[in-house]
Amino acid sequence: KGEYRPDLASKERRMSTQFVFGLGTNTSNTITAMILEVPEVELRLLENANRIFSKIIIPEMTRDAMVRIGTDGEQLGYVKELLAVGFMHTENRSAESFTHWHLEVMNTALGEDDKLYALRNDLICQNKDKYNALFQTEMKQFLENDFGLSFKPIYLDEDLNNEFLLDHERNIASYDVDDKFVPQSLREELGARKKEMDALMKKLGVQGFIAEEIARRETRQEKTEMSPRELKAQWRETYKKHGFSSQGFAQHQNFNQVKDPEAVLPSPRVLISNYLRKSKKIEFTEDQFKSHILKQLLNTCSRDTAERYAEEIFSSQCLQMIDKEQGEYFKVWPRCQVYDSISIGYDQVQHRVIACAKR
């Protein structure tokens, strides 16, 4: 009868794919403190997030997207426009403040012939780290310029606990507002869940990103039924108890942050080694690798410098892997070296053709 029952739909027939963007706990609470005192701050953040989505993220996703056309969707076509909606949340499943942004991408898209088709989002999902890096780049710069916040890197737990690595050799997973903005007593109270997750991973004898995600699910609380007004009242009381307010951290704000144009960037060897250690594989897409470098350099240089450095490393150090049949076509290219197999560390890649990534 035309009634849509999402509760009966399988994951393969879901209406949309959801992407979640955010920074760290300190950032979330600093933003919340400002919103509680000046509600207009929330609108400014939402407007900036929508700018990032519409001008940067969605165009990148459109480039990565395909639509299924023809009988049974066996043929693929390019996407003219995606259907997506973004929104902001200031809470998580529990009663704690957790500022983050959602981008809901519909699984229907506009083809080049202005008709609607089913979206093929394989590459979009594969390149989620690229969108995350771009969002963090833009949102971090906005918070620095408009609110004077400064940031520290958040290292991957696996690297943070590795005593043989120096800081510049550790993988940066995200960024968070400097600890000086948030009272230590508040940070300790709000860090209880992280300690619970760490305890579970220690008990199970596991570590790393996947283990952390499992621990996050195993220890998460039931979703709170408190209204936004009740949550804000609770956060206001918590912040007051710890003496946390925008007036309190005003002394730390810096509205004239400038990246050092002469800053020494990590060597290609370090950045490549970091990525391989994090991903645990030697095959990756160009966007995955470049977004990794962009995120590592957010506190060091401008986005433009980071992107140019990523392109330089990718072009000079990486190899492109293609099907063997396609390799016969590229063998005649004068600037292209083709191999039937290649040794990379302890891995022998066979039955493929490796072509130089230089264009």
- Report pLDDT digits (tens) over 199-237: 766 777 655 544 555 555 555 555 567 888 899 999 999
pLDDT beyond 90 at 333: no
Note the pLDDT of residue 209. 45
Note the pLDDT of residue 35. 94
- Report pLDDT digits (tens) over 54-70: 999 999 999 999 999 97
Mean pLDDT in residue range 324-352: 55
Note the pLDDT of residue 167. 86
Note the pLDDT of residue 94. 67
Note the pLDDT of residue 107. 92
How far does Cα 264 stand from its chain's mean position? 25
Instruction: Choose between 35 and 261: higher pLDDT.
Output: 35
Please give the torsion angle defined by the CA atoms of residues 243, 247, 248 and 250, in that order, rounded to the nearest 10 degrees. Answer: 160
Note the pLDDT of residue 215. 56
pLDDT beyond 70 at 342: no
The answer to whether 89 touches 104, Cβ cutoff 8 Å, is: no
Q: Is the dihedral of CA 299, 284, 208, 49 positive or negative?
A: positive
Mean pLDDT in residue range 176-194: 88
Here the tokens at position 139 are 């949102």
Q: What is the pTM of this model?
A: 0.82
pLDDT beyond 70 at 337: no
Question: What whole-number distance in Å separates Cα of residue 79 and Cα of residue 60?
Answer: 11
H-state helical runs in the chain: 25-37, 40-52, 58-64, 122-126, 128-147, 157-160, 184-190, 192-204, 209-219, 228-241, 246-249, 268-279, 286-296, 303-317, 324-330
Note the pLDDT of residue 31. 96
Note the pLDDT of residue 63. 94
Q: Predicted confidence band at 90 (pLDDT cuts at 50, 70, 90)?
A: confident
The answer to whether 53 touches 116, Cβ cutoff 8 Å, is: no
> Could you count the other beta carbons within 10 Å of the beta carbon of residue 4?
8
Note the pLDDT of residue 344. 46
- Report pLDDT digits (tens) over 263-313: 899 999 999 999 988 888 878 888 999 999 999 999 999 999 999 999 999
Q: Predicted confidence band at 27 (pLDDT cuts at 50, 70, 90)?
A: very high
The answer to whether 124 touches 105, Cβ cutoff 8 Å, is: yes
Note the pLDDT of residue 358. 34
pLDDT beyond 60 at 353: no
Burial of 139 (0-12, 13-18, 19+ CB in 10 A): buried
User: What percent of the chain is predicted at pLDDT more than 90?
Assistant: 53
Note the pLDDT of residue 340. 60
Give the per-residue SS3 of 59-73: HHHHHHCEEEECHHH
> Could you count the other beta carbons within 10 Å of the beta carbon of residue 251?
8
The answer to whether 149 touches 181, Cβ cutoff 8 Å, is: yes
Give the CA distances from residue 316 to residues 241, 287, 319, 326, in Å, rounded to whole numbers and listed in that order: 55, 15, 9, 22
Q: Which residues contact 74 (CB under 8 A, 6 or more apart)?
A: 68
Q: Per mean pLDDT, which range of 44-48, 251-255, 313-317 is the poorest? A: 313-317
The answer to whether 177 touches 150, Cβ cutoff 8 Å, is: yes
